[in-house]
Structure 1
Amino acid sequence: MRKILIILSVLFICSCEKKQDKNPTVSTDNLKRSNERTDATQDVLSTEVALKKTNDEVLQAMKVGYYDIFANYIHPQKGVRFSMYAFINKDEDKHFSKEEFEKYLPSKTIFTWGSRDGSGEIYKATLNKYLQNWVFKKDFTKAEYSFNSFLAGGNSLNNLKEMYPNTNFTENYIAGSENSGGMDWNALRFVFEEFNGKYYIVAVVNDEWTI
C-alpha cells in the first residue's frame, strides 16, 4: 500500500510540472498585473544584460498595449522624448514627463508629432494612437537586437550619439523585404540614462528609410 501511495505521489508531481511547462514565461496576464520595475536584477547584472531585459519587457508591454508599464521607465526628472525619425530635434519632438504621459494616454488630445518624410504631410494623432501606429508599427518583439550600435542606416541624419552622449541605447531592427529591395526596414531605439542607480528611458526613436 505504501509503495502505491509513493508511486501516485510521483505521478501527481510530474503531472503538475508538465502543466506548468505549458504556461509562457511572460504572459499578458502577468504584464497586466505587474506594474512594477525589475530593478533588483540591475544591481547584480551588467548594464548590457539589464538593459536587454528592460528592452524586451518594454517591447512586450507595448505589443499588448500596456503602456502603464512603459510609463514606469520614463525618467523621473528628464521625462521622455519621441522622435519620428533618426534625426532628433529637441525643439520640435514631443516630450512628456511621466505625469503628462499618464495624463494624456487615455485622452483624445491630438498632438502634432512631425511631418512624414517624402510627402511632408503633418502627422497628427493622440498619444495612444501614436504609440500603436507609429512607435510600434511593426512587431519589434521579433526584431534583431543590438546594444549601443546601429544595425539600421539610411540617408537620414542619425544624431542620437550627439544629442545623448555618454548614454546607453538599444536598437530593435526589422530588415526590409526583397520585394522592396530591403528599403522598407524599420528600427525602434530606446535611449537610457541612469538616475539614483536605476535606468530610465529618456528617448524613443523610430527610424526607417527616408527619401
Structure 2
Amino acid sequence: MKNYLLLFSVLALLNCSKENSAVSESTKNSTVITDEKTKNLPEKPVKIPVSAQIKELNEEILDTLKSRDIAAFAQFIHPEKGVLFSMYGYVEPATDKHFSRSDFIKYSNTNTKFTWGAKDGTGQQLVLSIQDYLADWVFKKNFSGAAYYFNVFKGSGNSLNNLKTIYPGAVFTENYIAGTEEYGGLDWNSLRFVFEKHEGKYFLVAVVNDQWTV
C-alpha cells in the first residue's frame, strides 16, 4: 500500500511540474506578443507649449536678421496673409508697408526702394530697399542680446500701442533693449514679432519696431 501511495505522490508531483512549466511558457509567450505589439505602436507626439514654440521662432527670426539671410527670413512669413512692417508701435494697416510672401521674395533680391513711412520728429520719408530696411531699421540694434518677453509689452513711451486691437487673435514677442542712463532711459528700443496660426503652425504677420517718440 505504501508503494502505491509513493508512486501516486511522484506522479502527482511530475504532473504539477509539467503544468507549471506550461503556464510559465504561456506567460513568456504572452509577454513576447505584448512587447511586439507595444513596439509597433506609434509614439504619441509630444505637445510643445505655445510659449516655447514662439520663443524658438523668435530666436530663429532674429538669427536670420543678424546674418542678413533674407531667404531664410521669408520662410517665416504667413503664406496667405503676408507680413506688415510698422516703423513704430502704432500699427496703421492702411499705410504701413505690407508684402505677400511671394512679393517679399521677389523684391528682396532687387534694389527696388519702398517708402516705409515717415520718421518721427522730422516727418522725413524713409525710402529704402527691403534689404536696407531690415538691416538699418528693423535690426538697427543687436536684438539677439535683448530681453525677451512673450505677449507682454515692455517698451512704452508717449505713442499709442494698438497691436492687440489690430491683431486680436495673435500672439507676439517683444525683444527689448533698455535705454541708457545718459539719455534718461529714453533711448530704449523694442522689436516685436506678431504671429498667427495657419494649418497648425505659427507664421509671422507683422514686424513692429518701437521706441520713444516726440
Q: TM class by shorter-chain length? A: 0.7 to 0.9
Residues 107 and 43 of structure 1: CA distance in aligned 2, closer, same or farther (over 3 Å)? farther
**Could you give the per-residue CA deviations for residues 27-61 of structure 1, whole angstroms, max 9, x where no partner exists?**
xxxxxxxxxxxxxxx97311000000110011011
**In the alignment, what sits opposite 2:24?**
none
Q: 1:105 is matched with which residue: 104, 108, 133?
A: 108
**Could you give the per-residue CA deviations for residues 152-205 of structure 1, whole angstroms, max 9, x where no partner exists?**
100111000000002100000000111111100000000000000000000000
Residues 43 and 127 of structure 1: CA distance in aligned 2, closer, same or farther (over 3 Å)? farther
**Distance (Å, rounded) in 1 between the aligned partners of 2:112 and 2:63:** 25
**Distance (Å, rounded) in 1 between the aligned partners of 2:129 and 2:207:** 16
SS of 1:151's equivalent?
A: coil
**Distance (Å, rounded) in 2 between the aligned partners of 1:123 and 1:72:** 25
SS of 1:189's equivalent?
A: strand
Q: Does 1:82 align with 2:68?
A: no
**In the alignment, what sits opposite 1:37?**
none
How large is the Cα RMSD of the aligned pairs? 1.1
**Distance (Å, rounded) in 2 between the aligned partners of 1:182 and 1:60:** 26
**In the alignment, what sits opposite 2:73?**
70
Q: Does 1:149 align with 2:149?
A: no
SS of 1:91's equivalent?
A: coil
Q: Does 1:183 align with 2:186?
A: yes
**In the alignment, what sits opposite 1:54?**
57
Residues 125 and 197 of structure 1: CA distance in aligned 2, closer, same or farther (over 3 Å)? same
**Distance (Å, rounded) in 1 between the aligned partners of 2:87 and 2:125:** 11
**Distance (Å, rounded) in 2 between the aligned partners of 1:109 and 1:137:** 20
**Could you give the per-residue CA deviations for residues 34-93 of structure 1, whole angstroms, max 9, x where no partner exists?**
xxxxxxxx9731100000011001101110101211111100110000000001000100
- Report which of the two structures shows the higher radius of gyration computed on alpha carbons: 2
**Distance (Å, rounded) in 2 between the aligned partners of 1:176 and 1:59:** 20
Which one-letter code corresponds to 1:165 in the other structure? P
Which one-letter code corresponds to 1:203 in the other structure? A
Unmatched tracts of structure 2, length 5 or more: 1-44
**In the alignment, what sits opposite 1:17?**
none
Tell me how far 1:142 sits from its aligned partner.
0.2
**Distance (Å, rounded) in 2 between the aligned partners of 1:79 and 1:98:** 5
Number of residue equivalences: 170
**Distance (Å, rounded) in 1 between the aligned partners of 2:191 and 2:143:** 7
Identity fraction in percent: 51
Which one-letter code corresponds to 1:180 in the other structure? Y
Which one-letter code corresponds to 2:122 in the other structure? S
**Distance (Å, rounded) in 2 between the aligned partners of 1:64 and 1:73:** 15
SS of 2:85's equivalent?
A: strand
**Distance (Å, rounded) in 2 between the aligned partners of 1:61 and 1:196:** 23
Unmatched tracts of structure 1, length 5 or more: 1-41
Which one-letter code corresponds to 2:102 in the other structure? E
**Distance (Å, rounded) in 1 between the aligned partners of 2:175 and 2:73:** 16
Residues 182 and 117 of structure 1: CA distance in aligned 2, closer, same or farther (over 3 Å)? same
Which one-letter code corresponds to 2:196 in the other structure? E
**In the alignment, what sits opposite 1:164?**
167
